[in-house]
Structure 1
Amino acid sequence: MTTPAPQPALRADARRNYERLVSAAREVFAARGIDVPMDDIARHAGVGSATLYRRFPTREALLQAVHRDQIDALCSRAQELLAAPSPDDGLATWLRELARQGSTSRSLATALMIALRDEGSDVSWCREAMYAAAAALLDRAQQAGTVRADVAAGQVLKLVNAVAFVTEGEPDGEQQADALLAIVMDGLRPR
């Protein structure tokens, strides 16, 4: 699994600007979605546009920084669930947690969609990490015979991301996501 390249140590003022930009992006994305003009994020952070683009040359790079902790936590959780007594339950639990994260964060589902679609994007580390996490859980369930052998990790991630995307921001989004994921899990079972 590839992780993002380590960033060189930043001066204190550059570090503060980085943190302000990430915090501002998180707030603005949550309030207005990810299509908000990048200059609005810079303004919300109290920095110039040049500072934003120097640190985050693309929207995808900014999304990566905003969601890094969530993605790392999801990957760690997948590792934990590899020890679940039932491979099927471990996979279903992780998919539910992934969908919940995506449906409660207005921009995470979109960030994951970008990462899953574009191998060359600025969030390719996310793509590789999420594929590895999903593949490990899926392989375990397939080896146990509880999930169809003809299903690939990318397909499962796209299905769950679609569930997260359509339930994002819904008042009963968690319940809708759980119901849709039950259908997905039924479809993954061998016939």
Structure 2
Amino acid sequence: MRADAQKNYQRLLSVAREVFQESGAEASLRDIARKAGVGLGTLYRHFPTREALLEALLRDGFEALAAQADALLQAESADAALVAWLQQIIAFTHSQRGVIAPMMHAIEDEASALHGSCVRLRASGAALLMRAQRQGSARPDLDGDALFDLIAALAWLREQPSHAARADRIFALVTGAVLNQEAARGD
């Protein structure tokens, strides 16, 4: 990539990160291009879709979450590892304002630029869940799809100012429902 093109790419990512944090993932791409000092065509040459821009912004965080899940597969306590990862992914998605809807869409849309990353996250969570199930500390009737849906619901709840105060309590209730009662109580 030419130096000026690389500079535009980095500037677009930087501005998009700021704009998305301020206005959410549905912010105007035209505004992002304007604030980055480039034309809309330049934005679309680098990022042909909103999902492509989101994927570029979220890639490092998604990879870190997947790597963390892989590392947690070695933790002694499978239920504690699952809960720790759930806290991390919910905090991450909450910090990326407005990404829940695009992530939920992307998981089902193989053509989405976010699809591969979202599938990897779901698989990482599913692996942690299956390990907890094998140890008898998680409900056997859940799968990775349901876990991903619960993550999305909990992250969405944190995004709602009127419900944010209850988010920790709801998280505890949901993890108590995911884990077997003995594991949830610490027996």
TM-score above 0.5: yes
2:54 is equivalent to residue 90 of structure 1: no
Alpha carbons of structure 1 residues 48 and 57: separation in structure 2 relative to 1, 3 Å: same
Alpha-carbon distance in 2 for matches of 1:118, 1:177: 29
2:59 is matched with 68
Secondary structure at the residue paired with 1:88? helix
Given the alignment, which residue of 23, 40, 43 partners 2:14? 23
* Aligned residue identity for 2:134: Q
Contact 2:25 2:99 in 1 (8 A): no
After TM superposition, the structure 1 = structure 2 runs for residues 122-141 of structure 1, keeping only pairs within 5 Å, are: 122-141=113-132
After TM superposition, the structure 1 = structure 2 runs for residues 144-163 of structure 1, keeping only pairs within 5 Å, are: 144-163=135-154
1:181 is matched with 171
Alpha-carbon distance in 2 for matches of 1:190, 1:54: 50
Alpha-carbon distance in 2 for matches of 1:103, 1:45: 25
Deviation at 1:120, TM superposition (A): 2.7
The count of residues paired between Structure 1 and Structure 2 equals 181
TM-score, normalization by structure 1:
0.87
**What residue ranges of structure 1 are gaps of 5+ in the alignment?**
1-9
Question: Does 12-21 or 104-113 show the bigger shift?
Answer: 104-113
Q: Percent identity?
A: 41
1:123-179 deviations in Å (ceiling 9; x for gaps)? 111122112211110110111111112211111111111111121274994x64332
After TM superposition, the structure 1 = structure 2 runs for residues 111-122 of structure 1, keeping only pairs within 5 Å, are: 111-122=102-113
Alpha-carbon distance in 1 for matches of 2:153, 2:34: 32
Alpha-carbon distance in 1 for matches of 2:87, 2:166: 11
After TM superposition, the structure 1 = structure 2 runs for residues 35-74 of structure 1, keeping only pairs within 5 Å, are: 35-74=26-65
**What residue ranges of structure 2 are gaps of 5+ in the alignment?**
182-187
1:77-106 deviations in Å (ceiling 9; x for gaps)? 111111111101100100011111112221
2:184 is matched with none
Compute the RMSD of aligned alpha carbons: 1.9
1:5-62 deviations in Å (ceiling 9; x for gaps)? xxxxx22111111111111111111111122221111111111111111111111111
Contact 2:15 2:36 in 1 (8 A): yes
TM-score, normalization by structure 2:
0.88
Secondary structure at the residue paired with 1:140? helix
Alpha-carbon distance in 2 for matches of 1:140, 1:134: 10
Alpha-carbon distance in 1 for matches of 2:180, 2:160: 33
Given the alignment, which residue of 168, 177, 180 partners 2:159? 168
* Aligned residue identity for 1:179: R
